[in-house]
Chain A
Amino acid sequence: MSFILQRASGRGFALTQFRDEVLRIGRGTNAELRSENPAVALEHAIIEADAAGWTIIDKGSITGTYVNGRPVEAARLAKGDVIEIGDLRIEVQTADAGKPMFLRVASTDRPVAAFVEEEVQRKSQERAAVRGGSLRAPEIDFAGAYRLARPYFTRVTLIAILMIIALVAISQVVEPDNQRWFRPGDVSSAHARHARNGKPIANDCIACHDPWHGVNDQNCKVCHTQGPHAMNELAPPGCVDCHAEHRDSARLSIVGDAVCINCHRDLTRHMRPGTTPSVAARVSSFAMNHPEFPPHVDRNTLRFNHKKHLQPRGIQNATGRREVLTCVGCHKLVEIKGKIDPGPIEFEQHCQRCHLLTFDLRYPKDEVPHGGSIDLVYSAVLTKESGMGGIAQLTPEARRLVQMRAGTSEILRSRHLAEQVIEVACRLCHEIRKDGLQLVATPPVMATSWFDRVKFTHTQHRIECISCHDLAPTSTMTKDVLLPSRAACTQCHGKSETKVGSCGSCHEYHERTK
């Protein structure tokens, strides 16, 4: 099929023929019938032939395709039809089926919509005068309506709204009773339990914090009295430098080793000028360069042989049978004020079961008293010999009267027996010396602590005694102080993987708070 276009130009009419099945009308460069007018879409409409004739089809244009003044999507063309597209006015000269189509094209200054509007407006005014009223279409700013910014809802107004909400919230938070909103962590259990000035410390920031100056040590000392750590300490740290609150720790008194090592790594830098440390100058770790425990000598006069008593095959007791002794058999762990440590050795409780103080085979169940004045031994034997019992419960004056009443032979015999038991039984453990006519035993002095700057308790050391006191099974002399070596302690203390504290386990910085 072909199309013949007659187009008006400056020199008259121009004829153009297209041999194609389809005539494209539009603003695009591929259109056979082109117009530069912006009201014409790039691909506005097409005219195509079929067996029945010619059809114009609108290709979805914005401004529409009009045939004889009516907007169409698709329309059959006949001779005399006027097609209006944008500024193009196309008159159909011939539209016979099977024959070329002849079109006369003219351009107008105004888009076709304007022609149509004038015609429709004229007709609508005629109708409005006859039937229903005239209608007016609303003028809508679609572009503005679909934008985000609204007259009263822009970014600035949103900022203002959010700022108002924020300022209201902040004004509530800065109230004195709402200061918990600034708390960086819970307080320790002790501070949580106690109150000051009728207010729980946990809810009263000012109890510890001076506004703009932080935690003041004086606020701590209202409740906590303490002694100095060392007289020559230069610039002692503040309370919070070691006991930091708000870290969800139950006990503030537990201080990490790093705090101590901070100064003791090089003690000379933290002492007053001209002073020297009385302890090791450089300690950075218990396991590494902590001083060895100083050697101790037990000057106790009491004689005791651990090796004999701890023989694996046992030791003969008073009945002649072998009995295997254990450490805790004598060093029983007792609880004193919440701490568990070996109680004092008592002869009656721990030793007398084997070390009988009998003085005469005639009296196998009678023993001389232990402890107190040596007079009691003489008196006890004399009482037995003279047939008077219970002398140990008598006052010294009463005992003297008893002795005066006894006969000479009884006195001599009892003296002999007393000296015998002293020489045989007492001397086994005690230092015996002559004091005038009597033998006397030097009272023993049992040391309870070997370190004056160290606190130690067996409470948490639930391990075998030999693990730490490894010298006990081989000790034969009283002077042996069977303290564990530092190496034995470092099995647990000083190793990061065991997480057992080092410094604070044994040492105290200052006196315990009252």
Chain B
Amino acid sequence: MPVARSGILWRRIFVLLLIALTASYFWYARREFPHGGSQWGLGYGIAGYALILLLAFFGIRKRWYRSRFGTLEQWLQSHIYLGVLVMIILLFHTGGRFNDKIAVATLLLTAIVVLSGIAGAVLYVTVPRLLTEVESNLVVEEISEQLNQLARQMARIASGRSTAFQRIYNELIRESMPGAFAGWRLILSRLRRRKQQQSRDWAHLLGLVPKDEQDELRQMLVVSRQRKELELRLIFQQRYRNVLEFWLYIHVPFTIVLLLFAAVHIIAAFYYGRVRW
């Protein structure tokens, strides 16, 4: 897959910064006891927090359509690579010490945000290809309308029929109800196109209704099966879309909480005099 030019540039910037930061840390750790309150430790911390603010600003820049401050592609590529770098900088800031519980919580939140971002980047590379394999000529909204149309058709076939017939209709309609948080359950479920066992199922159902209703029941079952196929197509499409969207439910909210914890950590550093001013 061709890589955007800005991606190559930021990859190189990332590698250079990583080498420089690692070399600086080893030099610093040999000279003195490494911890967050040392001069170098504070330097790493300040750089890390500034990076976090810059990375969080991407959410605003993404929606600031009139901005000329860099292209969106450059912002995206820098967001990815600097996002990984910030985790390394913060680890250098800790100096390998993890006693301050608030600081550790801040670091864990950073790890969650960074890992979810990496997951999102991977998903954006892999999922669209899978999506094209299941996309049909109808969009999700059109499929939804078709499903309701077929349901109305089934209702009209079942209207005025025997109780058993209408019970079968109700059961078929109930089976296709999405349920609460259906979109979230889609992410975790393993979807398979089940082989049709219609002949056995249909034979059983046909035996439940009077003989004069069996033809109509067969019609309704055909429509119901078409409806199920259609719904499965919708589910397959929507699942990939949900996967593409799901990681943002972790990445964005935890970023906000991270900013809060980082602020508390910084205030505490000034309060307890670990940073002297």
A contact set with B: CB distance below 8 Å:
38, 41-42, 60, 62-64, 70-73, 113, 116-117, 120-121, 123-143, 145-150, 153, 155, 158-159, 162-163, 166-167, 170, 173, 181-186, 205, 209-215, 244, 246-247, 258
A sample of 8 inter-chain contacts (CB < 8 A) reads A71-B222, A132-B159, A146-B235, A147-B241, A148-B246, A155-B249, A162-B256, A166-B260
CB-CB under 8 A from B159, the residues of chain A are: 124-125, 127-128, 132-135
Question: Nearest residue in A to B258 (C-beta to C-beta)?
Answer: A166
Could you say which of A125, A133, A142, A212 contacts B147, with CB atoms under 8 Å apart? Answer: A142
Residues of B contacting A62 with CB < 8 Å? 136, 138, 143, 146, 226, 229-230
**Segment at the interface with A among B14-22, B69-77, B95-103:** B95-103
Give the contacting residue for A140; candidates B148, B169, B252, B276; CB below 8 A.
B148
Q: Write the nearest CB–CB distance from A140 to chain B, whole angstroms.
A: 6
Q: Are A120 and B156 in contact (CB under 8 A)?
A: yes
Contacts of B223 in A (CB 8 A): 64, 71
Task: Report A77 CB to chain B, min CB distance, Å.
Answer: 17
Residues of chain B within 8 A (CB-CB) of A138 are 151, 173
Cβ contact within 8 Å between A130 and B160: yes
Contact B144 A142 (CB under 8 A): yes
Contacting pair A146 B234 (CB below 8 A): yes
B171 at interface by CB-CB < 8 Å: no
Of B157, B184, B226, B271, which contacts A124 at CB under 8 A? B157
**4 more A-B contacts (CB under 8 A) besides A124-B157, A125-B159, A166-B260?**
A132-B163, A145-B183, A147-B242, A181-B102
Encoded as 1 (CB less than 8 Å from any A CB) or 0, chain B from 150 to 171 comes to 0111111111111101100100
A150 / chain B contacts, CB cutoff of 8 Å: 181, 183
Q: Collect the chain A residues with CB atoms within 8 Å of residue B257's CB.
A: 159, 162-163, 166
A73: chain B residues at CB < 8 Å are 222
Residues on B with beta carbons closer than 8 Å to the beta carbon of A149: 183
Interface centre among B100, B230, B239 (most CB of A within 10 A): B100
A73's nearest neighbour on chain B, judged by CB, is: B222
CA distance A44 to B184 in the complex (A): 33
Distance of B178 from chain A, by nearest CB (Å):
4
Q: Which listed residue, A63, A143, A155, touches B252 by the CB 8 Å rule? A: A155
Residue B186 at the chain A interface, CB threshold 8 Å:
yes
B155 touches A136 (CB 8 A): yes
Query: Contact: A117 with B156, CB < 8 Å?
Result: yes
Q: CA A121 – CA B146 in complex, angstroms?
A: 17
Any A CB within 8 A of the CB of B44 = no
Contact of A72 with B35 in the complex, beta carbons under 8 Å: no
Find chain A residues with CB under 8 A from B162 CB.
131-132
Collect the chain B residues with CB atoms within 8 Å of residue A125's CB: 159
Residues on A with beta carbons closer than 8 Å to the beta carbon of B181: 150, 153
Q: How far is the CA of A70 from the CA of B249 in the complex (A)?
A: 46
Check B261 for interface membership: any CB of A closer than 8 A.
yes
A163 to B152, CA, bound (A): 45
Task: Considering the complex, give the chain A residue whose CB is closest to the CB of B103.
Answer: A184
Residue in chain A with minimal CB distance to B137: A42
Q: Which B221-277 residues have C-beta < 8 A from chain A?
A: 222-223, 226, 229-231, 234-235, 238-239, 241-242, 245-246, 248-249, 252-254, 256-257, 260-261, 264, 268, 270-274, 276
* A212/B271 contact (C-beta < 8 A), A155-B252, A158-B253, A182-B100 known: yes
Known: A132-B161, A183-B100. A146 touches B137 (CB 8 A): no
Is the CB–CB distance between A214 and B158 below 8 Å? no
Partner of B242, one of A133, A146, A159, A162: A146
List of B residues within 8 angstroms of A186 by Cβ: 99
Check if B272 sits within 8 Å of A205, measured CB to CB: yes
Interface positions, chain B 29-57, Cβ under 8 Å from A, are 31-33, 35-37
Q: How close is B274's CB to chain A, nearest CB, in angstroms?
A: 7
Min CB–CB distance A148 → chain B (angstroms): 5
What is the distance, in angstroms, from B239's C-beta to the closest C-beta of chain A? 8
Highest count of chain B CB atoms <10 Å: which of A131, A143, A166, A185? A143
Q: Are A182 and B147 in contact (CB under 8 A)?
A: no
Tell which of B219, B245, B272 touches A148, judged by Cβ atoms closer than 8 Å.
B245
Q: Is the CB of B144 within 8 A of A162?
A: no
Given known contacts A159-B256, A170-B264, A173-B102, A145 and B178 CB-to-CB distance under 8 angstroms:
yes
A42-B137, A71-B223 in contact; A131/B161 too (CB < 8 A)?
Answer: yes
Residue B182 at the chain A interface, CB threshold 8 Å? yes
Q: Hey, which chain A residues are within 8 Å of B182, CB to CB?
A: 145-146
A133-B162 Cα distance, complex, nearest whole Å: 9
Of the candidates B141, B177, B235, B273, the one having the most CB atoms from chain A within 10 angstroms of its own CB is B273
Q: Which one of B33, B239, B254 contacts A244 once the chains associate, using CB atoms below 8 Å?
A: B33
Across the interface, name the chain B residue whose C-beta is closest to A178. Answer: B101
CB-nearest residue of chain B to A258: B32
Bound form: Cα–Cα A29–B217 in Å:
36
* Contacting pair B249 A143 (CB below 8 A): no
Complex Cα spacing A126 to B234, Å: 35
B158 near A135 (CB under 8 angstroms)? yes
Chain B residues near A123 (CB, 8 Å)?
156
B183 & A146 in contact (Cβ 8 Å cutoff):
yes
**Minimal beta-carbon separation of B152 from chain A (angstroms):** 5
Known contacts A148-B242, A166-B261; A182 and B148 CB within 8 A of each other = no
**Closest approach, in angstroms, between the C-beta of B32 and any C-beta of chain A?**
7
B131 within 8 A of A: no
Q: Which residues of B are found within 8 Å of A142, using beta-carbon distances?
A: 140, 143-144, 147-148, 178, 231, 234
Given A159-B256, A214-B273, does the pair A134, B160 have CB atoms closer than 8 Å? yes
Which residue of A63, A182, A258 contacts B101 across the interface (Cβ within 8 Å)?
A182
Interface pair A209/B273, CB less than 8 Å apart: yes
Q: Which of A137, A181, A209, A212 contacts B152 (CB 8 A)?
A: A137
Contact among A60, A120, A246 with B157 in the assembled complex (CB-CB below 8 Å): A120
Contact between chains at B226 and A143 (CB < 8 Å): no
A113-B149 contact, Cβ under 8 Å, with A143-B234, A163-B256, A214-B276? yes
Task: Identify B144's interface contact among A121, A141, A167, A215, CB under 8 A.
Answer: A141
Q: Which residue of B lies closest to A209 (CB)?
A: B272
A148 with B273, Cβ < 8 A, contacts A128-B160, A132-B161 known? no
Return A384 CB to nearest CB of chain B, in Å. 72
A183 to B98, CA, bound (A): 10
Shortest 10 CB-CB contacts between residues of A and residues of B: A214-B273, A127-B160, A145-B178, A137-B151, A137-B155, A142-B144, A124-B159, A128-B160, A146-B238, A124-B156
Evaluate contact between A135 and B166: CB separation under 8 angstroms: yes
Q: How far is the CA of A142 from the CA of B149 in the complex (A)?
A: 12
Residues of A near B152 (CB, < 8 A) are: 117, 137
Given contact pairs A124-B156, A181-B102, A148 touches B183 in the complex (Cβ within 8 A)? yes
Contact of B178 among A60, A140, A214 (CB under 8 A): A140
A424 to B24, CA, bound (A): 75
Q: How far is A246 from B269 in the complex, measured between Cα atoms in Å?
A: 14
B177, A140: Cβ atoms under 8 Å?
Answer: yes
Cα–Cα, bound, A214→B275 (Å) = 8
On chain B, the residues within 8 Å of A146 by CB distance are 140, 178, 182-183, 186, 234-235, 238-239, 242
